[in-house]
Structure 1
């Protein structure tokens, strides 16, 4: 039996690879969630007017790879103290969030957020939102598996984003999965 997990962490291109390398992960799909129009396009979402966030929706086998493990990877991909976007990507459509699919996920997400905030790892409070799962709309084909299909573009974009420098400063290099 599989479950779904949905995470927003800025540009969805950078959120696929960290999850897409473990046994128990069936798929990682780029898409949009949390907005007020049906079937949004990338062109609409990037304006910041639809209310959607760029997200990844992960289908996983919780008996092989747990939701807690997914949360651990998620936190290591974002700046949880910034809700104005992530790294070079600015705007509400790039803010970090956890979309929970059930009460167990909510409990685990809230607990992990509280633990991260209490850890003192960040100078500012952890303000990442935990939201009820909303309709998920799959992004256009060219956004799927971008790190595989457009490896050079992905590497260049990631290199100039400031994401890796932030993550390496916040987490020990051996902890970061990217």
Structure 2
């Protein structure tokens, strides 16, 4: 279950910061920060992780050399009050540090879990849109299905593709790639 967590943080000290995350336990839970509010999610399950690994392989094979593809946990920062860890992210190689990505990714992917779905569809989508992340993908492992959003000229996400099961999504941004949702499940499909 995803929770907005209360931690030992003096009430008069303001919202949490990225620095506050550094002192939190490394217990397998994902801790993200959105506008100073802590979001804690449990470790993902097998189906979720199988999709993440297979998607990474597909994207890595076609990724141009000026980009890098990473999987969570790896932090995307925006200021001192926002840190997200997309399940899969693509960024410009020059924008990465050894520790994080302090610039908008060109692609952020979230694989839904029962405990994270509402955040992935709403909150995280809004934050990535605000950051200027060109492409945002949501994968529902239950169907399986892929929904693709891209920024329009006004900087707003528009759904540009959806593929389920054995349908293939032929995508051009951030670079050409073909994704078939059922293939991402491998033996679990």
Q: Does the TM-score normalized on the shorter chain lie above 0.5?
A: no
Larger relative helix fraction = 1
Greater relative CO (CA pairs within 8 A, separation 6+): 1
Which is higher, the Rg of structure 1 or of structure 2? 2
**TM-score with structure 1 setting the length:** 0.30
**TM-score with structure 2 setting the length:** 0.29
Larger relative strand fraction = 2
